[in-house]
Amino acid sequence: MRYRALGSTGVSVSVIGFGASPFGNVFGDVPPKHDERIVREAVDAGINIFDVSPYYGLGLAEERLGAALGPWRDSVLLTTKAGRYDAENFDFSARTVTRSLDASLRRLQTDHVDLFQVYDIEFGSIDQILQETLPAAAELKHQGKTRFIGITSYWPDLLSRIATEFPVDTILSYCHANLFVGDMDRVLSGFAKKTATGLINASPLHMGLLGGGPVPLWHPAPPAVRAAAKDVNQLCRNQSVDPATLAIYLCLQHPVVATTFVGISTAEQVSAACAALEWQPDVELLNAVRARVDPVFNTVWPQGRPENADQSLAVQDASMRNGVSA
């Protein structure tokens, strides 16, 4: 395993982080009987940061992760979130965020988390997040219920805008630094480097499109992106390559990202993710994959309140006019 500093927090994290959303059956039913084995495999592989949220399975993922961590709790960094609780249930009020962390701590069977993140801020009022939500999170940090605080969003520009006005320890961007989208570097990477803010990347498999399983009905990617992902999966399998390994490998090459959260539901997926650390791509396969992705590269989708969207949404609009996302 390789490790990087998480901004100026003083801690180092494994470049591969354990995303526990599958423990909430987000991408399909995951039986709980192997939870402890999966966590043990991850810890033995050197993964030292585990990410979860009450949104994943309405608290189920937190309950399962808390039970599975057991003897390893004090040897890993544990992160959870607040603000989003269901597909259409958002509450960024100070009262709810404070109560949410208390409930998460009970489910996770711990007295504190290492990182508490305000989740999917693009769905909230930016004024409320700046004036109410983040101050509440800072108070929870002062109380010792979390060591660090952070924000997450689909939109990279929005993250830098908020963190400029209210400095945080970490920023998490998803679906903007992987095989399909690379616009996180337009603003966010430079901001994180300049301010020594810990930069976290999520969704290296583009929210499961390169995971090899069925695409959930709720997935927001347009049909052209889904079709390209299907072709990439087949190109990799034709060469006996796990598409997840290729996708994670590409994310691990980013020079600023401290850790990339990978959704994990089996011990085999731990191995596949860690294989990316030493994997060397076949040039012809990589060229073929990129040729298939190029027509839809940097295609994004509407997410959250329209006024919170980045200018990169124009990329999506242009692609749709050109028929890419139709």
Structure tokens at 271: 């191995």
Any domain includes 291: yes
pLDDT in tens, 47-68: 999 999 999 999 999 999 999 9
The count of domains in the chain is 1
User: Confidence class of residue 312 from pLDDT cuts 50, 70 and 90?
Assistant: low
pLDDT at 36: 96
**Whether the Cβ atoms of residue 176 and residue 310 lie closer than 8 Å to each other:** no
Checking if the pLDDT of 285 tops 50, the result is: yes
Mean pLDDT of all residues in 185-210: 96
Any domain includes 326: no
pLDDT at 313: 52
pLDDT at 239: 94
As annotated, the active-site residues are 56
Mean pLDDT of all residues in 74-88: 96
pLDDT at 280: 93
Q: What is the CATH number of the domain that holds 101?
A: 3.20.20.100
Any domain includes 197: yes
Q: Which of 146, 65, 50 is nearest to 98 (CA)?
A: 146
Mean pLDDT of all residues in 130-136: 98
pLDDT in tens, 82-132: 999 998 999 999 999 999 999 999 999 999 999 999 999 999 999 999 999
pLDDT in tens, 204-260: 999 999 987 778 788 899 999 999 999 999 999 999 999 999 999 999 999 999 999
Any domain includes 217: yes
Structure tokens at 179: 């095989």
Burial 53-74 (b: 16+ CB within 10 A, else e): bbbbbebbbbbbbbbbbeebee
Domain that holds residue 284: 3-321
Helix, strand, coil percent values for the chain (each to nearest 5): 45, 15, 35
The helix (H) or strand (E) run that includes residue 214 is none
Query: CA separation (Å) from 264 to 19, 127, 317?
Result: 6, 35, 33
pTM assigned to the model? 0.94
